[in-house]
Structure 1
Amino acid sequence: MDDALIIGGTRFIGRHLVDELLDAEYDVTLFNRGTRENPFADHNRVDHYTGDRTSGAALKEANEAVEPDLVVDCVAYYPGEVKLAVEAFEDVEAYVYVSSGAVYEPDVIPKREGETPLEPCSGEQAVDDSHESYGPRKAEGDRIVFEAAENGVNAMSVRPTIVYGPHDYTGRYQYWVDRISEYDRVLVPGDGTNIHHLVSVYNTVRAIRAVGENGTPGEAYNAGDHRVLTLQDLLEETAEAVGTDPEFVEVNDRELATAGLESTEFPLYNPDVHVLSTAKLADIGWEPLSPREAIERTVAWSGEPERDPGPDRETEEQVLDSL
């Protein structure tokens, strides 16, 4: 493959994907509305095609103009958008839909492709924009990809779990980097042993390229860091990368309630264990970075995320002072 079209490409996963594909000698075209700053505007191997991804006609026009070998859909959040894309790019060598680890029904450890049931998606959920419908919407997108493959489209799916790394606009991991960098005492919900499988953006884009080049049409591939970290492991690795040695203060729900807080308000905390099997991805040549290297690269980023999740420091200190 020589030419790649990325639907999206300027914010987080897409931005890193451009670098990954350029390193692999692709020429890249970004397809988006052009409403965000393009970090690759001056790059001689990155073009931009302006269009609305919710328009089937615009997608088909982009396909005809660019003639891509590989299409990666980073910003399909509704099943209808996936349906438009697989129709518009039915003739490409590979269409890769960026789905999510949230597609699976809960209470299975680990979650495996083709084995763990997917979330159902009602007609109402398919057009809803709430957080609660995100997993069902992505799951329905997967089912559209599978159906398209049955009809001869070279469509595949990648299911990353929560992604962290430079340019992450959600601020979820950056919350912990900031606390560890700035304070001697860091409030940790629970006992630190909760597990929500994460994946670095570097491993995510490596997964996307591996699936685009070596994946099987009609298949989905989980993407998560090769080593699964507990929350405490993540914080300790982060502290080592930052170069600080804070005290991690573990607190239960009763102690948090003294300041009106709940454990689930803390980014990356999940009371339910969430782990994805990545064996299928490894079988097609995926070579992930270690969490340590990915974390070191992430904490070195000096940018600011768009969002600021988690409790404010003043409220956290109310809990710390009460202990």
Structure 2
Amino acid sequence: MKILILGGSKFLGRAYVLEALARGYEVTTFNRGVSRADQPGVEAVHGDRTSQADLEKLVAGRRWDAVVDTSGQQPHDVARAAGLLRDHADHYTFISSIHAFSDWPAAPVDESSPTHPCPADTPPDQPPGNPLKAGCERALLTEFGARSLLLNCGLLIGPHEPVGRLPWWLERIAAGGRVLAPGNPDRPMQLIDARDFAAFGLDLLERGETGRYITTGPAGRDTYGDFLGHCIRATGSDAELVWTDDNTLLAADVGPWVELPLWTPDLPDWHGTWQADSSRALAAGLNSRPLAETVRDTWAWLQETGPGEESWAQGDLPLGIAREKERKILDQAR
């Protein structure tokens, strides 16, 4: 197969590229060429997807069996790319997000759940926001039609994760000592390795599947206690987890999700976070490797490459609780 990957140098795009090359595909990547190196073996075309001229240069004289769009964030940009690629590819996979669903994370969602009412013709250069992914979906369907595949990804982890939720926890636990562990250790989580996501996405692409799949790990398989326990074992740390209830953390003004990464307190706004229905994807062959394997591989990557020059962050928000604030809460708990 000949495949075009919009993106292809970071995390999920990188996972798609490596899996596609391993399957013997001819892979073209299209990105700006500024954030990460292109993978050996691809035809690397550099350009900006917001530029009409760059996109026209990309498609000139080329045709692919399929497109995988891992970088679409603005409906306007997705519409432009899909419109140009309509006559140059047979199939288009768009990597959307579970954030596209208007009820999430307050309530469980499935493929039939409503999405945010963001229109396909949303003007360009909107400030980042969850509704934009729903607009991107509508833009693709408007321009590319029934040959489209939408994958609503859940929480992606694994080696090369740029946000750093799992890496932050690995580094904190590797430092040892008493570690502030949030909430209930039996609280379920729902995580998926980016490599498993990419493999499943290419399986669907090979079969010509269309429509929508919520693509995340099986609900209820892993818990927060499992997650942090795997971090201790992977790092060989002497860390002591001090499980601290939600109310204590909220009273101490600890920010859910970001300040203690992936912590979701037992509040109505968070009830559906780890309850997305991925049964359709599982029935279609989604394989989710053991969480322990992903944690081990991510720690091995961190040991090999180091944390890099930038701090872990979700958008403009730095990840992780300050050590002084953590010590104060731990001392009070003692």
Range class of TM-score, shorter chain: 0.7 to 0.9
| 2:96 is aligned with 1:86 | no
Q: C-alpha distance in 1, partners of 2:175/2:168?
A: 11
| 2:114 is aligned with 1:117 | yes
Residues 203 and 223 in structure 1, CA contact (< 8 A), matched pair in contact too: no
Please state how far the C-alpha of 1:259 moved relative to its aligned partner: 5.7
Alignment of 1:136-147 (within 5 A): 136-147=131-142
Q: Give the secondary-structure state (helix, strand or coil) at the position aligned to 1:48.
A: strand
Report sequence identity in percent: 28
* 1:159 maps to amino acid: N
Alignment of 1:1-323 (within 5 A): 2-40=1-39, 43=40, 45-91=41-87, 92-104=89-101, 105-106=103-104, 107-109=106-108, 111-113=109-111, 115-121=112-118, 127-130=125-128, 133=129, 135-150=130-145, 154-217=147-210, 219-226=211-218, 228-252=221-245, 255-256=248-249, 260-264=253-257, 265-271=259-265, 272=270, 273-274=272-273, 275-302=275-302, 303=305, 304=307, 306-308=310-312, 309-323=319-333
Q: Which runs of 5+ in 1 are unaligned?
A: none
Residues 96 and 211 in structure 1, CA contact (< 8 A), matched pair in contact too: no
Q: C-alpha distance in 1, partners of 2:177/2:61?
A: 55
Q: Give the secondary-structure state (helix, strand or coil) at the position aligned to 1:249.
A: strand
Residues 189-220 of structure 1, C-alpha deviations (whole Å, 9 max, x = no match): 22234445222111221132123222533x11
RMSD across aligned C-alpha pairs, in angstroms? 2.4
* 1:129 maps to amino acid: P
Structure 2 length as normaliser, TM-score? 0.84
* 1:317 maps to amino acid: R
Residues 30-82 of structure 1, C-alpha deviations (whole Å, 9 max, x = no match): 10122234142xx2x21211211112443243123442222111110011111
Structure 1 length as normaliser, TM-score? 0.87
Residues 318, 65 of structure 1: alpha-carbon distance in 2 compared, 3 angstrom cutoff: farther
Residues 240, 29 of structure 1: alpha-carbon distance in 2 compared, 3 angstrom cutoff: same
Q: Give the secondary-structure state (helix, strand or coil) at the position aligned to 2:277.
A: coil
Q: C-alpha distance in 1, partners of 2:189/2:61?
A: 42
